[in-house]
Amino acid sequence: MSKEIRFMETVLRDGNQSQIATRMPISDMLPILKTMDEAGYIALEAWGGATFDSCLRFLNEDPWERLRQIRAQVKNTKLQMLLRGQNLLGYRHYADDVVTKFVQKSVENGIDVIRIFDALNDTRNMRTSMEATKNAGGEAQPAIAYTTSDFHTVDYFVSLAKEMSTMGADSIAIKDMAGVLLPETAYELVSRIKDAVDLPLQVHTHVTAGVSEMTYLKSAEAGADIIDTCISSFSGGTSQPATESMAIALENLGFDTGLKLDKLAEIAEHFNPVRDRFREEKILNPKVKDTEPKALIFQVPGGMLSNLMSQLEEQHLSDKYDEVLAEVPKVRADLGFPPLVTPLSQMVGTQAVLNIVTGERYKIVPKEIKDYVAGGYGKTPVEISPEIREKIIGDTPVETERPADKLAPEFDKLKAEISDYAKSDEDVLDYALFPKQGKDFLGRREDPFYDIPVQTVDVTIDMD
């Protein structure tokens, strides 16, 4: 009997997010969804991450309507989304009532599986969204945000997986947003988690540093149940390994992938011209297809490398790039080794830039970093030293309770604020998550004289 492995296709979410800054409109997806539904994937990653923000901010598209349109075409394959735990699809902590409502509406509008992570792997920040997912009838897939440090050992990740299983996980993901998970470590991690926890295990990585196919191969050998890949058109570089190539290689090794290669070919034929168009429009920067082994050396995700480069270029300080790059791991160590995932990746990167360009470490500290040091994002993996803490927040006490515990319910207040434009709870959630972009989107839709145009220039790339 052959071993089984299943694939989740990421072109609609992570491939789109990683290579073209999430600018793919629904019109590029609709014609091929039926074929994708027939290709034998276990799931399509179709929503969440930066897609929601991008719909409102750049595409003037209703993100909920996008989800409903995808669901209408995809009848047999699961639809999966990525959720940043208590941060939902935004960057701050939302009150529990907003989190619960958002998750409920996501499932109601068509999502089957919600992958939930917290940037600090603080499971307290995942509890409300996990419970809400299960109550709404969805599958909860907590994700381990993978990163490296002396603290982040295989033992630590295994105990995290065990904790997630006791919280009601339906499956577990290892989420390597930076593409730094090495093949042998993946083998050990997958074997140990499979031994410890009786749940399906899904592995997610990025090609960025050039080791991802080996990592998937070793994960498959160790008993991973699902891997995340992207159809060749948008694969490689900052995205996932190519679906077709991974499938052919694993079939050759005796795995049953359940995929239909003729359907995969049709999907690639559809997305190739879409990719070429984005390339001509220069939205697809050729750099995203590059191999960047520096990610393994500095443990800095590829998307963060490009964010840093553009921040420095804007200030005509490109010559400081190497210094900033060397500063990133130092800031990360100072801050207790947070995984570099949204929003921590942006925060750590910005602090590293400030430390270098001001010529004095922590002379200027953004509000987000101060909040983080004061416990506002949850428990840091390693405790921050008293010297660094004092430098950043003085004698402000550090909060130890779950950050959302001090947030009063806010849905009704937000609903009242946006009552001129919002026609549904989904509309209110647009505004709750992105007050400015949500209001502008709804304003343009409801008021012909609303004259704030759709944004065209991006500032940073979300890393998840």
In the complex, the residues that contact Co ion under the rule CB under 5 A are: 14, 177
Question: Which is nearest to 89 in space by CA: 124, 122, 54?
Answer: 54
- Tokens 């923000």: give the residue: 53
Cβ atoms 223, 193 nearer than 8 A: no
Cβ atoms 214, 247 nearer than 8 A: no
Q: Which residues pair with 4 in a beta bridge?
A: 256
Nearest distance from C-beta of residue 117 to Co ion, angstroms:
10
28 vs 462 by CB, closer to Co ion: 462
Residues constituting the chain? 464
Nearest distance from C-beta of residue 175 to Co ion, angstroms:
7
Between the alpha carbon of residue 90 and those of residues 40, 98, 457, the distances in Å are: 32, 12, 18
208 vs 355 by CB, closer to Co ion: 208
Tokens in use for 239? Answer: 């995205």
Nearest distance from C-beta of residue 115 to Co ion, angstroms:
10
Nearest distance from C-beta of residue 445 to Co ion, angstroms:
30
Q: Dmax over Cα atoms in the chain, in whole Å?
A: 65
104 vs 342 by CB, closer to Co ion: 342
Nearest distance from C-beta of residue 230 to Co ion, angstroms:
10
52 vs 441 by CB, closer to Co ion: 52
384 vs 463 by CB, closer to Co ion: 463
Helix (H, G, I), strand (E, B) or coil at 407: coil
Nearest distance from C-beta of residue 79 to Co ion, angstroms:
17
Residues 6+ apart with CB under 8 A from 42: 6, 7, 8, 77, 78, 226, 258
Distance CA 59, CA 328 (A): 33
Nearest distance from C-beta of residue 99 to Co ion, angstroms:
21
15 vs 375 by CB, closer to Co ion: 15
Closest residue by beta carbon to Co ion: 14
14 vs 426 by CB, closer to Co ion: 14
Burial class (CB in 10 A: 0-12, 13-18, 19+), 97: middle
Distance CA 137, CA 186 (A): 31
Nearest distance from C-beta of residue 377 to Co ion, angstroms:
20
Chain-centroid distance of CA 2 in Å reads: 32
The beta strand positions in 110-254, using DSSP E, are 113-116, 139-145, 172-175, 201-204, 226-229
Helix (H, G, I), strand (E, B) or coil at 114: strand
29 vs 341 by CB, closer to Co ion: 341
